[in-house]
Structure 1
Amino acid sequence: MRPYNWSYTQFSQFNQDDSLLLASGVFLGPHNSSSGEIAVISLDTFALLSRVRNKPYDVFGCWLTDTSLISGNLHRIGDITSCSVLWLNNAFQDVESENVNVVKRLFKIQNLNASTIRTVMVADCSRFDSPDLLLDAGAPDNAPGRVFDLGSDGEEEEASPGPAGAKGLRRLLDGLLEGRAQPQLSERMLETKVAELLAQGRTKPPEPSTADARNKLLIFTTGCLTYSPHQIGIKQILPHQMTTAGPVLGEGRGSDAFFDALDHVIDVHGHIIGMGLSPDNRYLYVNSRAWPSGSVVADPMQPPPIAEEIDLLVFDLKTMREVKRALRAHRAYTPNDECFFIFLDVSRDFVASGAEDRHGYIWDRHYNICLAKLRHQDVVNSVVFSPQEQELLLTASDDATIKAWRSPRAVRVHQARRPRPRPFFSWFASQRR
């Protein structure tokens, strides 16, 4: 992709039938500016089919269907307020008619306190009822409640500003504009309050949850307190939204519905540095570096310090509950402003992750025990299981190597299958007979 001014490639994903490859990279623009771009490549002819802008670049992008993909765009509204727009794009954009859409806006989501949407992925709800492995239901006894259903009437909604709070904030703003009051908030806090007030009544509520197996879940990292990704947003995608047909700016949006509301939010109280889905799409595994207990974010540009130990959290996307205890063993050392994504992968029986401690790790999904520690000479950025053989793992590292690892059992099986060479004299004698 160098002819297209790509600096580097950071992510790739095959579509379901392995006919197309989505490659996500960083595009160098004029005046040394950089942005993300997604390329779609045919695996039959290796031709470049389309290029899609993607901002910020760590949205990565993902497939929604075999022929459509999701990208992102970011629009600044204020100093620490922005809006993320998620777009549905056709992989094939050489249409014959100008009346046929090649893109359509899926969702438009408000970002507060310098947060943005990153790392999008899609879970297929049709596979939830036949999981490869059914993990224990319910969160551990000592785990805090992390999942908030934003479409319910639960206690979580009490934390959002109600009509009385909105009226009080409106009176404060009116007083500031008329010079009758002195601001008691910092400029950034005031901007956030104003953004929250403006979004009230202008946000389209979540769609009613349905049991339609054709639904899919859009999953991404986000936040509400600081720029570091500390929350996971979940938004259901209905069957009629999985096509670019219809209005380019989306369907069912009134003149006052400027933003879309999320269906669920998972707050991990830490910096998210990796996510991966189980093969059945039911369980979400999350690499997170925890904030200190009881920490408070006073400035969105100064998030709390993060732990060196990485917690690998597990969430059931059908019940929206945290399951199992956090898997631990791997570590990371970079601070908040230098933190980078560490890819993980999940097979039927195992989960693997990279780490900054120069090792890759493998855990057993049944018993939550660490099975192997795979040594490199530098940071291990990415790991992936073979889709055909889960006991074969590849690890990629900053030491410029890709290593292949087999389990001892798989090695024994392969050695047993290998035919033993017959001695030369025996072969020669059989030919004479």
Structure 2
Amino acid sequence: MRPYNWSYTQFSQFNQDDSLLLASGVFLGPHNSSSGEIAVISLDSFALLSRVRNKPYDVFGCWLTETSLISGNLHRIGDITSCSVLWLNNAFQDVESENVNVVKRLFKIQNLNASTIRTVMVADCSRFDSPDLLLDAGDQAVPPCRVFDLGCDSEDEAVGPVLRAPVHAKAGLRQALDGMLDGHTQLSERVLETRVAELLAQGHTKPPERSAAKNKYLIFTTGCLTYSPHQIGIKQILPHQMTTAGPVLGEGRSSDAFFDALDHVIDVHGHIIGMGLSPDNRYLYVNSRAWPPGSVVADPMQPPPIAEEIDLLVFDLKTMREVKRALRAHRAYTPNDECFFIFLDVSRDFVASGAEDRHGYIWDRHYNICLAKLRHEDVVNSVAFSPQEQELLLTASDDATIKAWRSPRTTRIFQAPRPRPRPFFSWFASHRR
């Protein structure tokens, strides 16, 4: 992709029938540039089918259906406020008629305190009722991460111990602004910008839509306190939104509804550096580096320090609850402003992750124990299980190597001596006697 001004490729994903490949890359440009692009490649002819702009580049992009993908765009509103627009794109954009849409706006979401939407992925809710592995709620003495249900009209509709999201009352915001104008309240420019943005969103945000059908969830990292991603946003995608047909700017939006509200928000109280779905799409695994207990974000550009130890958290997307204890063993050392994504992968029985401590790790999903520590000479950025054999894992590292690892069981099977087959004519001769 060098002819298209790509600096490097950072992410790829096959569609469900393995006929198309989505590749996400970063543009060449200044160090502070955040622009990227998504390319769709046919695996039959290896032809480049389409290119889609993607900003920021760590939105990555993902498939929604066999032939449609999700990308992002970022629009600045102020110094620390912005809005992220998520677009649905047709993988085949060489249509015969100009009246056929190849893109459609899915959602427009307000960002506060220098946060942005990153790392989008899609979970298929129709598979929740037949999980490959059913995890229990684990040790309830462990304080769970805060899960906010933003779409319920009453407490009775919330599933499990779900907390109501705290929202600033419109009157309270107006009172704060009036106090500042009267000279009774002193606010910094950043706090003032955030308060005004919150006031703007009041009454100008489209509430979540509920559907009884088992649809799909759009999942992404976000935040509300600082630029480092510390929350997971979840938004239901309805059936009519899964096609580029219809108005380009979406349907069912009044002129006053600038933004879309999220259905759920998971606050992990730390810097999220990786996410992955189980094969049945029911469980979300999250790599997070925790903030100190009780830490408060006073300046959105100065988030709290993050732990070196990585917590691998597990959330049940059907009940919206944290399950099991956090998995631990792997470590990372970079500070907030240099933190990077460490990819993880989940198979039926195992979960694997990279780390900055020059190792890849494998845990047992049933018993929450670390099974293997796989050595490299530098940071391990990405891991991937074979879709055909979960006891085969690939790890990719900054030491410029990709290593393949087999479990001891499969290694013994491959190394075991095999009986030599008897020649057919020898068998035939012995039976003639």
Instruction: Report if TM-score (shorter chain) is over 0.5.
Output: yes
Corresponding residue number in structure 2 for 1:166: 169
Mapped to 1, the partners of 2:267 and 2:166 lie a distance apart of: 25
Mapped to 1, the partners of 2:424 and 2:331 lie a distance apart of: 53
Structure 1 counterpart SS, 2:304: coil
Structure 1 counterpart SS, 2:302: coil
Structure 1 contact 138–321 (Cα < 8 Å) conserved: no
Structure 1 contact 139–321 (Cα < 8 Å) conserved: no
Unaligned runs of 5+ in 2: none
Mapped to 2, the partners of 1:164 and 1:264 lie a distance apart of: 14
Mapped to 2, the partners of 1:71 and 1:388 lie a distance apart of: 29
Structure 1 counterpart SS, 2:3: helix
For residue 29 of structure 1, report the CA deviation from its aligned partner. 5.5
Corresponding residue number in structure 2 for 1:138: 138
Structure 1 contact 361–374 (Cα < 8 Å) conserved: yes
For residue 429 of structure 1, report the CA deviation from its aligned partner. 14
Structure 2 contact 34–56 (Cα < 8 Å) conserved: no
Structure 2 contact 149–158 (Cα < 8 Å) conserved: no
Structure 2 counterpart SS, 1:38: strand
1:242-292 alpha-carbon deviations (Å, 9 max, x no partner) = 000000000000011110000000000000000000000000000000000
Structure 1 contact 140–325 (Cα < 8 Å) conserved: no
For residue 218 of structure 1, report the CA deviation from its aligned partner. 0.2
For residue 174 of structure 1, report the CA deviation from its aligned partner. 4.7
Mapped to 2, the partners of 1:159 and 1:389 lie a distance apart of: 35
Judging changes above 3 Å, is the alpha-carbon distance between structure 1 residues 415 and 160 closer, same or farther for their aligned structure 2 residues? closer
Structure 1 contact 292–305 (Cα < 8 Å) conserved: yes
Structure 2 counterpart SS, 1:337: helix
Mapped to 2, the partners of 1:350 and 1:241 lie a distance apart of: 33
Mapped to 2, the partners of 1:376 and 1:164 lie a distance apart of: 46
1:158-207 alpha-carbon deviations (Å, 9 max, x no partner) = 9999999645432443565687xxxx111101110110001000000000
Structure 1 counterpart SS, 2:31: helix
Structure 1 contact 123–277 (Cα < 8 Å) conserved: yes
Judging changes above 3 Å, is the alpha-carbon distance between structure 1 residues 135 and 34 closer, same or farther for their aligned structure 2 residues? closer
1:52-93 alpha-carbon deviations (Å, 9 max, x no partner) = 000000000000000000000000000100000000000000
Mapped to 1, the partners of 2:271 and 2:110 lie a distance apart of: 20
Structure 2 counterpart SS, 1:411: helix
Structure 1 contact 391–406 (Cα < 8 Å) conserved: yes
Structure 2 contact 142–325 (Cα < 8 Å) conserved: no
Structure 2 contact 34–55 (Cα < 8 Å) conserved: no
1:269-318 alpha-carbon deviations (Å, 9 max, x no partner) = 00000000000000000000000000000000000000000000000000
Mapped to 1, the partners of 2:72 and 2:271 lie a distance apart of: 21
1:316-343 alpha-carbon deviations (Å, 9 max, x no partner) = 0000000000000000000000000000
Judging changes above 3 Å, is the alpha-carbon distance between structure 1 residues 187 and 116 closer, same or farther for their aligned structure 2 residues? same
Structure 1 contact 139–322 (Cα < 8 Å) conserved: no
Matches within 5 A, 1:307-322: 307-322=307-322
The count of residues paired between Structure 1 and Structure 2 equals 426
Mapped to 1, the partners of 2:418 and 2:158 lie a distance apart of: 65
Structure 2 counterpart SS, 1:410: helix
For residue 28 of structure 1, report the CA deviation from its aligned partner. 2.4
1:399-427 alpha-carbon deviations (Å, 9 max, x no partner) = 00000000000111223375659999999
Range that drifts further, 405-414 or 354-363: 405-414
Mapped to 2, the partners of 1:116 and 1:159 lie a distance apart of: 28
1:115-145 alpha-carbon deviations (Å, 9 max, x no partner) = 0000000000111010000000366322234
Judging changes above 3 Å, is the alpha-carbon distance between structure 1 residues 426 and 264 closer, same or farther for their aligned structure 2 residues? same
Judging changes above 3 Å, is the alpha-carbon distance between structure 1 residues 311 and 70 closer, same or farther for their aligned structure 2 residues? same
Mapped to 1, the partners of 2:283 and 2:14 lie a distance apart of: 20
For residue 146 of structure 1, report the CA deviation from its aligned partner. 1.5
Structure 1 contact 72–85 (Cα < 8 Å) conserved: yes
Unaligned runs of 5+ in 1: none
Structure 1 counterpart SS, 2:306: coil
Judging changes above 3 Å, is the alpha-carbon distance between structure 1 residues 418 and 117 closer, same or farther for their aligned structure 2 residues? farther
TM-score by length of 2: 0.91
Judging changes above 3 Å, is the alpha-carbon distance between structure 1 residues 308 and 205 closer, same or farther for their aligned structure 2 residues? same
Judging changes above 3 Å, is the alpha-carbon distance between structure 1 residues 307 and 156 closer, same or farther for their aligned structure 2 residues? farther
Corresponding residue number in structure 2 for 1:272: 272
Mapped to 1, the partners of 2:10 and 2:167 lie a distance apart of: 47
Matches within 5 A, 1:206-355: 206-209=208-211, 213-355=213-355
Judging changes above 3 Å, is the alpha-carbon distance between structure 1 residues 119 and 145 closer, same or farther for their aligned structure 2 residues? closer
Judging changes above 3 Å, is the alpha-carbon distance between structure 1 residues 30 and 89 closer, same or farther for their aligned structure 2 residues? same
Structure 1 contact 314–322 (Cα < 8 Å) conserved: yes
Mapped to 2, the partners of 1:110 and 1:185 lie a distance apart of: 21
Judging changes above 3 Å, is the alpha-carbon distance between structure 1 residues 99 and 150 closer, same or farther for their aligned structure 2 residues? same
RMSD: 3.7
Mapped to 2, the partners of 1:393 and 1:163 lie a distance apart of: 42
Q: Give percent identity, aligned residues only.
A: 91
